[in-house]
Structure 1
């Protein structure tokens, strides 16, 4: 089975069980051990997956790391686990101590939902402060899963992981710096951009003005790029839906598609709905379809599984929800897009019924 599909199934398990998981030990048994098993390691073989492995640190005896993973009789991974409610980033100092006395090249800090992978890229045998790879079951990314494959039992490759780790580390650092520039452009970036088209001296007042211009320009550029990509995705979804509807004879073949206009408000509302639904299901299971009458949000790109509809084509805006399980939903008037968050429970109820 595909690694991504296995991780998505584990996420569904986490969502369904987490409210009943009250201890760190239960988190390990219910969530972390299945994750290790997904990587191909035998969790019932104590020579391959070693629980409570002793990592004595100086004069401190009896220190134990939750799991050590061995591949070809060599330790490759250490796991330190926390309760699913805890922040996976908050305990790396403890993993740092274990890593120092371990022979493994990689350490994992996890709360069962987020898995942070660390290495020693900066200094040999000293764990880096920041992870080079994060696997978030609620937000799985294809490029991260590709690197995770190198950790599986059958495909483990130290060289491949280290090459990817270094690249990921610097890509993440560059992204962080770029996001800082978007939020608050520095003098250096403003000068770099403005000097290409503005041949007058950059006085203090002009610098203040151009900083604000740069911030707006960067934000607009990114928003327009996102909007274009989303519209392209919606266009693809619409074509897929159209093919399904032709097979089931549920759509008027003479509908004039040229009259369908996807507005910025509809796209923004869809992002809000998507953020709410991601608490329940992976983002790739949330699809959208714009029609002349409404903008629909669907489960698994299936027009027979409507989650909600946005009616924004009139003076008043409405959110139509389907938590009652009927084909016709209940419309709620929206004074602002932020009010969509008020219907979080109804949207979750609808998804729960569709998943049954």
Structure 2
């Protein structure tokens, strides 16, 4: 995914530069604006990304929010930035005041590393106190990348994000509660399990005993799940290695003949009118002698079948389906000069 690669690149840049960034203004320019740019918005277009945005609806004079992303002349996301060294606190944020007087449904509080997205799930037109989505760009998970992508200019849809926001918010809170219960099980949590498997009276002593058992059970279950994932990953890697070894063994059985090399030189002589010679690469296999563009299996230029009783040249159409044409000698390859040059046109040649 291109966005994931771009986010990783920005995260690497942040880790390299952050110790040299001293001010909020530097944080904006070095960390936040590149993030906005990754979302597909033109940070140099003041009609799309407005710095020092003022709602101008009776707010305290002089108050501004750092950025607003505009779509159809209305703000779709207002952004307040802090120095990367500062902790984020929505209670001291101007976002609350701007949210209810603007038409936006989303607000972002960030220090360039931590990102917190807010909406109005609890009360319409009033920004929630808790973010429905947050992430650390220097420790980004795949699931977070998928959520960030929803704010990209090319896919931004208010209703789709709002529909998902509620689930994100409550899943996050549920996970927190589960983590708390695993680390320090409450009596209610322990009773839930003990009542299903213990037939006696749930005295305080029994609850104490089951508290330790519940902790151990969850620890073992999580450990087993982790081991299963590791085992699966290791087995997958072994399969890949074995496949590579088989391919190497099969490749070692291939003997490239002088005739195949001479035929390759003929193809190069034809195609060099449209391609530099270093881009015309051959791969010999047990079944055929393949000639590729940029050594890419998805870009076949032709195939030569010279080792059987009859000789053929394999040509490719728009659907990359091979059609074999019989040849008497490799000199007959010159008869298919037009077809070979047309094959080059199937690919974007730089």
Pairwise TM-score range, normalised by the shorter structure: 0.5 to 0.7
What is the Cα deviation at residue 86 of structure 1? 1.6
Any idea what the Cα deviations from partners look like across 1:273-308, whole Å, max 9, x if unmatched? xxxxxxxxxxxxxxxxxxxxxxxxxxxxxxxxxxxx
In 2: Cα distance, 1:236 partner to 1:165 partner: 35
Q: Secondary structure at the match of 2:28?
A: helix
Any idea what the Cα deviations from partners look like across 1:21-45, whole Å, max 9, x if unmatched? 1111011001100100111111011
8 Å CA contact 2:69–2:78 kept in 1: the answer is yes
In 2: Cα distance, 1:92 partner to 1:66 partner: 14
Within a 5 Å distance, the mapping from 1:38-77 to structure 2 comes to: 38-55=38-55, 60-77=60-77
In 1: Cα distance, 2:33 partner to 2:143 partner: 23
Who is 2:81 aligned against? Answer: 81
Any idea what the Cα deviations from partners look like across 1:192-241, whole Å, max 9, x if unmatched? 21122211111111111111211121122112212221232233344445
Quickly say closer, same or farther: Cα 1:20–1:246, change in 2 above 3 A.
Answer: farther
In 1: Cα distance, 2:28 partner to 2:245 partner: 45
In 2: Cα distance, 1:230 partner to 1:57 partner: 56
In 1: Cα distance, 2:16 partner to 2:54 partner: 33
Q: Secondary structure at the match of 1:115?
A: strand
In 2: Cα distance, 1:83 partner to 1:157 partner: 30
Q: Secondary structure at the match of 1:144?
A: helix
In 2: Cα distance, 1:53 partner to 1:153 partner: 19
Any idea what the Cα deviations from partners look like across 1:43-102, whole Å, max 9, x if unmatched? 011111000112468662110110000122221101111111222346664332332333
In 2: Cα distance, 1:172 partner to 1:184 partner: 18
Quickly say closer, same or farther: Cα 1:25–1:238, change in 2 above 3 A.
Answer: farther
8 Å CA contact 1:185–1:215 kept in 2: the answer is yes
In 2: Cα distance, 1:90 partner to 1:72 partner: 28
In 2: Cα distance, 1:7 partner to 1:59 partner: 35
Q: Which runs of 5+ in 2 are unaligned?
A: 250-350
What is the Cα deviation at residue 136 of structure 1? 1.9
Who is 1:107 aligned against? Answer: 107
Within a 5 Å distance, the mapping from 1:1-356 to structure 2 comes to: 2-55=2-55, 60-89=60-89, 93-240=93-240
What is the Cα deviation at residue 145 of structure 1? 1.8
Q: Secondary structure at the match of 1:151?
A: coil
Scaled by the length of structure 1, the TM-score of the pair is 0.65
Structure number with greater Rg is 2
Q: Secondary structure at the match of 1:196?
A: helix
8 Å CA contact 2:190–2:214 kept in 1: the answer is yes
Q: Secondary structure at the match of 1:195?
A: helix
In 1: Cα distance, 2:240 partner to 2:88 partner: 39
In 1: Cα distance, 2:159 partner to 2:116 partner: 19
What is the Cα deviation at residue 143 of structure 1? 2.2
Any idea what the Cα deviations from partners look like across 1:221-270, whole Å, max 9, x if unmatched? 11221222123223334444566678889xxxxxxxxxxxxxxxxxxxxx
Residues matched between the structures, number: 249
Over aligned residue pairs, what C-alpha RMSD do you find? 2.3
Q: Secondary structure at the match of 2:51?
A: strand
In 1: Cα distance, 2:138 partner to 2:230 partner: 20
What is the Cα deviation at residue 135 of structure 1? 3.0
Who is 1:279 aligned against? Answer: none
Quickly say closer, same or farther: Cα 1:244–1:21, change in 2 above 3 A.
Answer: farther
Who is 1:345 aligned against? Answer: none
What is the Cα deviation at residue 107 of structure 1? 0.6
In 2: Cα distance, 1:248 partner to 1:108 partner: 52
Quickly say closer, same or farther: Cα 1:182–1:136, change in 2 above 3 A.
Answer: same
What is the Cα deviation at residue 187 of structure 1? 1.9
8 Å CA contact 1:55–1:101 kept in 2: the answer is yes
Who is 1:321 aligned against? Answer: none
